[in-house]
């Protein structure tokens, strides 16, 4: 009982810090130029896909095929907008997440039986199968993909001059809520058991918990986040094509997850933003060798922060906790 | 929910000396574990050959035998890691042979390991909380794993094992003996009916082994748990076991109180002595 109040104080402090960050990001949006708003929206929507990979990493597996759920969420939202006449951004985004979760669910029990490179390669194979289908499907626009119109928010039209900020604000709020839920999940009973699976799955199984079921659930949750990211990206770009499911897209999500490490949710978005900035500027100033710059950037981070960007503040917090 | 409160497995018929409602002849103590006619082979190697064992509730039983005698095979069959080729195993009257480790764990069988199986990057307290979470049955998506009530329970168990001072240390930083105790403490979080300890003092120094066993026995005293422990150290066996079962070549060659077993001619020859026939090892 003695530690109830420090714990409650810690939760309150985290919640207030999260709310403060959310409001600060929204306020910052008013001061941002259009290009930075778009770049930030892309960073947030890609970051939420990498957040799914981080959740999987916490249970000891890495998906190299999140492009599949990213594309599935984007295509589901795009088809709902163009063929079902749904224009509400919130419905399209959550629908995209749900569609990806539904697509991933049948594969989850199978994939959860594999570990390491086998899990990674199977997820990559699935994403490339979807890529192949999308490229060959004339009804889905083939290799060119197709466009979608500007969405509405709760029935209200979005003016062209406000579009970048509105989508940015929507991304901040939705992803803020999802990151909070992910944090709650990470601190939950299931989240802690997932962490233990990464460390010693034999022991977890002998303690009576199902390792495969825990990994399967994490895979479906990661798929939901991937689908939300895909739908957000679709709305920001107004266009979708099969490249969403290509292996390079999946690789970028893994890149961000490794850069962030698996100890902090916030680090995922910091890493995603850093990658978008490095990519944009390297693409601008040395367009033919920007991948080289990205590679060097990752090597530097791995060399000096092997536990990811998140370790910059989580390690300090852990040390402070140990001292206390 | 504790393991003892959970149900599962197939009830078997009550017969004298085994299963549901069975009691130990003479004392009337209920039978917790009943193994009948267990057989297990790995190719030509016979690791269990018609093993019959009954363990009454609350008894502390030591399994002894040379390497390859079949002790670990027996433990692995009871915990579901191995499926017997023939025979049956019942826990508190419910047939458990053929069930997986997870299902058996939920029925109330817990084990510790010769090499402690811990989440090394987590703190000792978090290891205990993981064990408590696994024993909950349902893995909640939102209930906090480190709630004050859970922490309190975990700390109470750590204190019983004299591990409270190590609660915040990473398991990887703990000395070998402390890891052993933590491994056993984790196994106890679900209040199991049957606890299997695989060589609890192996790798522990001579000076530490008795204090460590004293700690374990004291921690178990308040639990109504039946204990089977695999052990090679005959001093430990003599001092801490109520009963000793000696294995040789997949068979039970003696099953009596410690002194009687250690004076048994076959045990002296094949387990504690030096005269062994060639090619007798198994498992």
Which DSSP symbol is given to A224? Answer: H
Domain-located, residue A258: yes
Domain-located, residue B165: no
Which CATH number do you get for residue B65?
3.40.50.300
Put residue B226 in one of left, alpha, beta given phi > 0 → left and psi -120 to 50 → alpha. Answer: beta
Mean pLDDT value across chain B: 85
Domain-located, residue B8: yes
- The closest CB to that of B148, out of A4, A184, A196, belongs to A4
Per-residue confidence (pLDDT) for residue A317, from 0 to 100: 66
> Is the sign of the CA dihedral B228, B229, B230, B234 positive or negative?
negative
Arithmetic mean of pLDDT, A297-320: 80
Which residues constitute the domain of residue A59? Answer: 39-316
Domain-located, residue A198: yes
**Is A228:A48 a contact under the CB 8 Å cutoff?**
yes
Burial A37-58 (b: 16+ CB within 10 A, else e): bbbbbbbbbbbbbbbbbbbbbb
- Contact state of A190 with B152 under an 8 Å Cβ cutoff: no
Q: How many other C-beta atoms are found inside a 10 Å radius of the C-beta of residue A315?
A: 14
Domain-located, residue B249: yes
* Lowest-confidence segment of A9-23, A143-157, B254-268 by average pLDDT: A9-23
Domain-located, residue A61: yes
* Lowest-confidence segment of A208-212, B145-149, B211-215 by average pLDDT: B145-149
| A58 against B137, higher pLDDT | A58
Per-residue confidence (pLDDT) for residue B281, from 0 to 100: 45
Domain-located, residue A284: yes
- The closest CB to that of A189, out of B79, B119, B145, belongs to B145
Per-residue pLDDT of A149-184, as tens digits, reads 999 998 888 888 889 999 999 999 999 999 988 988
What DSSP line would sit under B127-172, residue for residue? HHHHHHHHHTSS--SSSBTT-HHHHHHHHHHHHHTT-GGGTTSBGG
Shortest CA gap A170–chain B (Å): 25
- Contact state of B3 with A208 under an 8 Å Cβ cutoff: yes
Domain-located, residue A10: no
Domain-located, residue B157: no
**Phi, psi (degrees; rounded to nearest 5) at B102:** -65, -45
Per-residue pLDDT of A278-300, as tens digits, reads 888 888 888 878 778 888 888 88
Q: What is the pLDDT confidence band of residue B283, given thresholds at 50, 70 and 90?
A: very low
CA nearest neighbour of B118 among A195, A116, A211, A55:
A195
Distance in angstroms (rounded) separating the CA atoms of residues A251 and A264: 20
Domain-located, residue B144: no
Domain-located, residue B241: yes
Per-residue pLDDT of A55-81, as tens digits, reads 999 999 999 999 999 999 999 999 999
- The closest CB to that of A199, out of B111, B119, B152, belongs to B119
Most A CBs within 10 A among B5, B9, B102, hence the mutation to make, goes to B102
Q: How many domains does chain A have?
A: 1
> What ipTM was predicted for this assembly?
0.80
- The closest CB to that of B134, out of A188, A191, A208, belongs to A208
Mean pLDDT value across chain A: 90
Domain-located, residue B254: yes
Domain-located, residue A30: no
Domain-located, residue B11: yes
Which DSSP symbol is given to A188? Answer: B
Shortest CA gap B191–chain A (Å): 11
Which residues in chain A (169-208) have CB-CB distances under 8 A to chain B? 184-185, 187-193, 195-196, 199-200, 202-208
The H-or-E segment that residue A220 falls in is: helix A211-237
Which residues in chain B (80-119) have CB-CB distances under 8 A to chain A? 101-102, 105-106, 110-111, 113, 117-119
- Contact state of A196 with B137 under an 8 Å Cβ cutoff: no
CA nearest neighbour of A197 among A62, A63, A59:
A59
Q: Are strands A146-147 and A239-240 parallel, antiparallel or unpaired?
A: antiparallel
Domain-located, residue A27: no
Q: Which of chain B's residues have a Cβ under 8 Å away from the Cβ of A187?
A: 144-146
* Per-residue H/E/C for B6-22: CCCCEECCCECCECCCC
Which residues constitute the domain of residue B258? Answer: 1-98+225-283
Per-residue confidence (pLDDT) for residue A130, from 0 to 100: 96
Half-sphere exposure of B74 (CA within 13 A, CB side): 36
- Contact state of B146 with A187 under an 8 Å Cβ cutoff: yes
Per-residue pLDDT for A318 more than 50?
A: yes
Per-residue confidence (pLDDT) for residue B282, from 0 to 100: 40
Q: How many domains does chain B have?
A: 1
**Is B70:B266 a contact under the CB 8 Å cutoff?**
no
- Contact state of A192 with B145 under an 8 Å Cβ cutoff: yes
Domain-located, residue A17: no
Per-residue pLDDT of A85-115, as tens digits, reads 999 999 999 999 999 999 999 999 999 999 9
Q: Are strands B251-256 and B94-95 parallel, antiparallel or unpaired?
A: unpaired
Residues with Cβ within 8 Å of B19's Cβ and at least 6 positions away in sequence, in order, are: B11, B12, B13, B31, B34, B90, B93
Per-residue pLDDT of B3-42, as tens digits, reads 334 434 443 333 333 444 577 666 767 889 999 999 999 9
- Contact state of A208 with B137 under an 8 Å Cβ cutoff: yes
Percentage of chain A with pLDDT > 90?
Answer: 65
Per-residue pLDDT for B140 more than 90?
A: no
Distance in angstroms (rounded) separating the CA atoms of residues B219 and B225: 11
Q: What is the pLDDT confidence band of residue B75, given thresholds at 50, 70 and 90?
A: very high
Per-residue pLDDT of A182-205, as tens digits, reads 988 988 899 999 999 999 998 998
């Amino acid at each position: 009982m003695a530690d109830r109040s420090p714990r409650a104080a810690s939760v309150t402090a985290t919640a207030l810090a999260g709310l403060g960050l959310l409001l600060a990001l929204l306020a910052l949006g008013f001061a941002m130029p259009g290009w930075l708003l778009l770049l930030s929206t892309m960073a947030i929507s890609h970051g939420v896909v990498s957040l799914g990979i981080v959740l999987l990493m916490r249970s000891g597996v890495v998906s190299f095929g999140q492009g599949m759920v990213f594309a599935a969420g984007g295509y589901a939202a795009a088809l709902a907008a163009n063929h079902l006449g749904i224009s509400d951004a919130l419905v399209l985004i959550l629908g995209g997440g749900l569609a990806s979760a539904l697509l991933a669910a049948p594969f989850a029990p199978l994939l959860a039986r594999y570990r390491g490179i086998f899990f990674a390669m199977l997820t990559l194979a699935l994403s490339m199968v979807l890529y192949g289908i999308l490229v060959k499907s004339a009804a889905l626009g083939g290799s060119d993909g197709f466009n979608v119109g500007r969405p509405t928010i709760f029935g209200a039209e979005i003016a062209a001059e406000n579009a970048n900020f509105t989508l940015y604000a929507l991304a901040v709020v939705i992803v803020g809520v999802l990151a909070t839920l992910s944090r709650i999940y990470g601190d939950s009973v299931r989240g802690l058991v997932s962490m233990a699976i990464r460390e010693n799955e034999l022991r977890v199984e002998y303690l009576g918990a199902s390792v495969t079921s825990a990994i399967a659930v994490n895979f479906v949750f990661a798929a939901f986040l991937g689908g939300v990211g895909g739908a957000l990206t679709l709305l920001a770009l107004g266009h979708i094509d099969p490249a969403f499911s290509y292996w390079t897209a999946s690789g970028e999500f893994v890149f961000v997850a490794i850069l962030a490490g698996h100890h902090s949710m916030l680090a995922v978005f910091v890493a995603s933003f850093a990658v978008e900035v490095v990519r944009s500027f390297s693409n601008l100033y040395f367009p033919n060798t920007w991948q080289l710059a990205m590679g060097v950037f990752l090597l530097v981070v791995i060399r000096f922060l092997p536990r990811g960007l998140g370790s910059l503040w989580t390690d300090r917090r852990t040390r402070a906790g140990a001292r206390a | 929910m504790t393991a003892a409160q959970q149900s599962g497995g197939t009830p078997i018929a009550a017969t004298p000396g085994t299963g549901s409602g069975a009691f130990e002849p003479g004392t009337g103590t209920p039978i917790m574990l009943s193994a009948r006619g267990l057989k297990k082979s790995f190719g030509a190697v016979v690791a269990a050959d018609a093993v019959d064992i009954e363990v009454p509730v609350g008894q502390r039983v030591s399994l002894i035998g040379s390497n390859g005698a079949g002790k670990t095979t027996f433990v692995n069959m009871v915990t579901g890691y191995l499926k017997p080729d023939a025979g049956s195993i019942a826990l508190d009257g419910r047939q458990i042979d053929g069930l997986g480790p997870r299902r058996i764990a939920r029925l109330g069988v817990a084990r510790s390991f010769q090499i402690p199986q811990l989440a090394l990057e987590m703190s000792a307290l978090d290891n205990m909380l993981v064990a408590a979470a696994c024993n909950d049955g349902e893995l909640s998506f939102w209930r906090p794993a480190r709630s004050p009530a859970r922490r309190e329970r975990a700390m109470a168990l750590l204190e019983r094992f004299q591990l409270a001072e190590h609660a915040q240390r990473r398991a990887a930083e703990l000395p070998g003996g402390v890891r052993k105790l933590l491994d056993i403490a984790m196994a106890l979080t679900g209040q199991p009916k049957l606890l299997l300890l695989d060589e609890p003092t192996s790798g522990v120094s001579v000076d530490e082994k008795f204090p460590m066993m004293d700690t374990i026995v004291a921690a178990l005293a308040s639990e109504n748990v039946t204990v089977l422990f695999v052990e090679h150290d005959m001093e430990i066996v003599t001092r801490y076991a109520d009963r000793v079962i000696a294995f040789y070549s997949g068979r039970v060659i003696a099953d009596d109180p410690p002194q009687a077993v250690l004076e048994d001619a076959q045990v002296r020859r094949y387990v504690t002595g030096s005269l062994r026939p060639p090619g007798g090892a198994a498992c």
